[in-house]
Amino acid sequence: MQAEIVEATWYLHRDDGGGDWWAEEDCSALGHEVIEVREGWGARLSAPGYMDATSWGVYDSEDEAQDDLAFMYDLCPQCLEAECDCDDAAARLREIVDDG
């Protein structure tokens, strides 16, 4: 899975079953209630070429989106890969945890 971070207008929808989810599109015409609209950075993990993806999270900054992906999915905070050769990945992850 690869990190995907996008700056956009985001719509928080609520479906008939009470589930909430973010999308870059207003899906109210499909029967989903829009309960919040905000500008921000959406972040998720996606498998390119496949439909597999995690749910979008929406953040105030690109750094916040990147930090949360790294923390939630145990990724290197610099390159957002599960395994990498970044020199200070462990130190950066400790900073995220300490700040958060």
Q: Which residues 6+ apart lie within 8 Å of 62 measured at CB?
A: 5, 7, 41
Mean pLDDT lowest for which of 33-37, 51-55, 68-72, 76-80?
A: 76-80
What is the pTM assigned to this prediction?
Answer: 0.77
* Terminal Cα distance for the chain, rounded: 25
Residue-wise pLDDT tens digits, 3-33:
999 999 999 998 777 789 999 999 888 888 9
The domain spans of the chain are 2-73
Residue-wise pLDDT tens digits, 81-93:
888 777 665 666 6
Strand ranges inside 16-79, DSSP E: 20-23, 33-46, 57-59
